[in-house]
Amino acid sequence: MKVWGIAGVLLLSTIVPLSGQTKAEPEAIQWLNWDQATSKSKEDKRKVLLNIYTSWCRWCDRMDEVTFSDPKVAKYINDKYHAVKFDAEYKEDISFNGKVYKYVKNGKTGYHEFAAELLNNRLSFPAVVILDEELQTIQTIMGFKPPQSFECIISYFGSNQYKLTPWSAYERNCMPQTQPARSEKQALQAQPKQSPQLRLIKN
């Protein structure tokens, strides 16, 4: 009886850990700051993707919750880009290409000159800016994008198909010929045509 008792305990000890195993956590985007991303990009010649947001932008939060948290989107960004989350109201100076960009006070709030430069003075959020391997802007994407359409966009530039294939043709092949999921469709319908914009101070 004692032998069987020990055997039972050993058997349970091998079963319990297996039953206690959990699924691996979905891949998350490896966000970097601007200096980290540009330094890495200069080393490995990888594109840079900037997610430009503000703390008061509810569609920025939605983009984080729905799109940037999507496992396929996160994996592709990690594989093909160096990703940066950039607050458009960031207070510290940023130096790039021999120029210093600063925070500009604008009433009760303000904006960062670097965000204004990247967005061509259209401070509407959320916004995504894709830079090529030489850190030159190749595309600006304004507003909320659901996971499927955003995955098509980032793969279009990440695979360099933008140099070979018109976007309309690529999009037709990339997007499934079905209606978007209910949650995505509702989000698109509910999205305002234009996000609130900050008034720029002109020197």
Per residue of the chain (203 residues), what is the pLDDT tens digit? 455 555 554 444 554 454 455 566 778 999 999 999 999 999 999 999 999 999 999 999 999 999 999 999 999 999 999 999 999 999 999 999 999 999 999 888 999 999 999 999 999 999 999 999 999 999 999 999 999 999 999 999 999 999 999 999 999 999 875 445 444 555 444 444 444 344 343 43
Assess if residue 73 is contained within a domain.
Answer: yes
Assess if residue 21 is contained within a domain.
Answer: no
Q: What percent of the chain has pLDDT over 90?
A: 71
199/189 Cα distance (integer angstroms):
26
Assess if residue 7 is contained within a domain.
Answer: no
- Please, what's the largest Cα pairwise distance for the chain? 90
Q: In the structure encoding, which two tokens stand for residue 45, read together?
A: 């010649």
Residue given tokens 């850990």 in the structure block: 17
Residue 122, SS3 per DSSP: coil
Assess if residue 5 is contained within a domain.
Answer: no
Instruction: Provide the CATH number for the domain around residue 168.
Output: 3.40.30.10
Assess if residue 10 is contained within a domain.
Answer: no
Cα dist from 160 to 4, 14, 20, 67, 135, whole Å: 64, 49, 43, 22, 15
Cα dist from 147 to 48, 58, 142, 187, whole Å: 19, 17, 14, 12
Assess if residue 38 is contained within a domain.
Answer: yes
Assess if residue 102 is contained within a domain.
Answer: yes
Assess if residue 176 is contained within a domain.
Answer: yes
The enclosing H or E element of 6 equals helix 2-19
Domain count of the fold of the chain: 1
Taking the model in full, what pTM does it have?
0.77
Cα angle value 145/148/152 (rounded, 5°) = 90
Contact partners, residue 58, CB within 8 Å, separation at least 6: none
Q: In the structure encoding, which two tokens stand for residue 156, read together?
A: 């279009």
Q: What is the pLDDT of residue 146?
A: 97
Question: What is the span of the domain harbouring residue 147?
Answer: 26-190
